[in-house]
Structure 1
């Protein structure tokens, strides 16, 4: 990703297109002027921007310049931390991932006022993260951390009741997010710099963060930010079609979730057969890998970050880079396939916690 400042972009673009050699208004006056192309790109979908970037060298350079500012992770994190580089160094040392609404906002180039920063951290490092938050102006908010009840009861039952059906759905969900351990909440009160209260939710996992993230309610929130890269697992459905595939019926507070994300211009669908999704190869029932061609990957600048020791000679990134999974449908056993939405689930292979 380009690290160029805005001030030197016009000169670079003029080197690409000599202004005296063409009468093309787009090439000489629009795509070379960030005051013009910034509003255009801001209103365009990511796919539209990338398609435009393929038309000429100047458009590609303009896209790189816009992306370097629109996806400036340090700027996005500066809402929560006075020193984003210090946090990202801590993130690198502890294999902490950012996900939830913050990661969605990052890719969507939007801000949801009052939204939390959701961190997913291996249990080995959660105290370190908590102490760092307290040292940087946050205070712990008691009463939000709860152990997940590890119910190993067999969900199968001969009695076909609504209660047993809901129990079955809860059991499926627990199996999908069995790496979840506890959640802690922290807040930073208003100060002389801002009248906004900032909230950080620290989710502690027993294995690795991706195990919990892949148990989220729908595909729109399957976006992850590590210390060196940002990954969107279903970018076409999420940012081009504004569709979010529900991954599990019976999810707690599902009605509230649908209402919240509908207000953010997302439409929920309940089956892979939905016409808007059938053309998306990322949602085919084939093995996926977080670094494959269906993911949207943004390299993040690492200047000023204290890098972690490499896990191996081959792996120098956050271990989430090893994640693989497959999307599949599960027909509810008590209703005909044609009369009910299916449960869409994920099976996956994740790296061991380092």
Structure 2
């Protein structure tokens, strides 16, 4: 028997002729596909979308209805569009602990660059959209979210906005997150705010970091499962193949460093198996499986191994500069570490930051690739020279107080400016466009796009 998958054109019809009509005609039978999609697993959605071209449109339909970002944000903010404009202005990240868990009350999931939902990455990415899910087992009836923002005026703007929304500060504690990169990725303060008087008691943690939001987000991960975040216009899942499809979450810290913290987070993993190392880690690079190589090869946040979903940006003003490119070009890799008794992975990256850049960039530097080291060192030296020239063009009164020291060590200008808290003047030039173009050419030249 042949069954036509062509959607019905008669919208006045009240009784579906075939089961597939219930999903295709989402406008007519919305409550039914809503419940169907709620109970479908990722593998079911993939199989369903492969059956016909018509079903590819289900993704776009659900983005505007069941998985609408503004509807999800409305659990926390009265005006989601106003919040997202503030997000674009300050560059803050929305963070989620769980990329795939679906609670008992809400269908689906949350925590850069495709136009059509044809690629597999788009079709499956709908399930990491549970963003502000309710953690029913540990926090009954409570919505939780985490915001990562740069310290200073941006953090002050976010905290003021939340208080205007009715949130009350519960506590604020300074905590410096241990990091191989020091102040560049340190979380210097965390504030908990809540709306205790509302039905679901939404809670928001605001993490203030020194400079780089993306690198702080990556370096502070305890598990690969937590590698999910939302910018002003896109949602990212950095380790979808292992976390979502294979249901494996790899540890990204010393297993013996904080037993209580580790245990408390493992209890939230449910059906996801905690892992220390991939089964292939003992093999040479040439002998490793594609799965094992994909986990530890040099990566970028915007590469083909990530799941990226475009959000509806209606009413949201685009931020200045090349913020999207800075996020997508952020490089990293999982590096094997070991203590006296066991091995584990850690997030490895090298940071590029400069007073002549609006945003911070990073790259994964494999020990065997001298070309990358040379490229990275040259780029840092060039930015140091640009910054020194810009400082020299300022009047004597505008220059930093330690100008004499800087003239003796111009290559170290970034650190010396931070020591005196130098504020960038209004007529300062930023070179993000040039740097992102340079980084893209470098990625193409080394074939990193083909490997990742």
What TM-score, normalized by structure 1, do the two folds share? 0.74
Q: Is the 8 A contact 1:176 1:214 kept in 2?
A: no
Of residues 162, 165, 168 in structure 2, which corresponds to 1:139? 168
2:7 maps to 13
Q: Is the 8 A contact 2:303 2:328 kept in 1?
A: no
What does 1:151-166 correspond to in 2, within 5 Å?
none
| Mapped pair 1:129 → 2:158 | yes
What does 1:229-240 correspond to in 2, within 5 Å?
229-240=234-245
Report deviation, 1:221.
0.8
d(CA) in 2 for partners of 1:36 and 1:198?
29
1:201 maps to 205
* Residue aligned with 1:213, SS: helix
1:345 maps to 346
Q: 1:255 to 1:28 in 2, by over 3 A?
A: closer
Report deviation, 1:14.
3.0
What does 1:172-211 correspond to in 2, within 5 Å?
178-190=185-197, 194-211=198-215
List alignment gaps of at least 5 residues for structure 1.
1-11, 150-169
RMSD of the TM alignment (CA)? 3.2
d(CA) in 2 for partners of 1:38 and 1:176?
46
What does 1:106-117 correspond to in 2, within 5 Å?
106=110, 107=128, 109=130, 110-112=133-135, 113-117=141-145
2:246 maps to 241
d(CA) in 1 for partners of 2:295 and 2:53?
34
* Residue aligned with 1:63, SS: helix
Q: Max radius of gyration: which structure?
A: 2
Report deviation, 1:348.
2.4
1:327 maps to 334
List alignment gaps of at least 5 residues for structure 2.
1-5, 101-108, 111-127, 136-140, 282-287, 360-452
* Residue aligned with 2:211, SS: coil
d(CA) in 2 for partners of 1:175 and 1:108?
32
1:308 maps to 319
Structure with more contact order per residue of length (Cα contacts < 8 Å, sep ≥ 6): 1
* Residue aligned with 2:229, SS: strand
Q: 1:64 to 1:120 in 2, by over 3 A?
A: same
What TM-score, normalized by structure 2, do the two folds share? 0.59
Report deviation, 1:286.
1.2
Number of aligned residue pairs: 300
d(CA) in 2 for partners of 1:321 and 1:297?
10
* Residue aligned with 2:173, SS: coil
Q: 1:51 to 1:350 in 2, by over 3 A?
A: farther
Report deviation, 1:274.
7.2
After the TM superposition, which of the residue ranges 237-246 and 42-51 deviates more from structure 2?
42-51
1:163 maps to none
d(CA) in 2 for partners of 1:47 and 1:127?
43
2:267 maps to 259
Report deviation, 1:200.
1.1
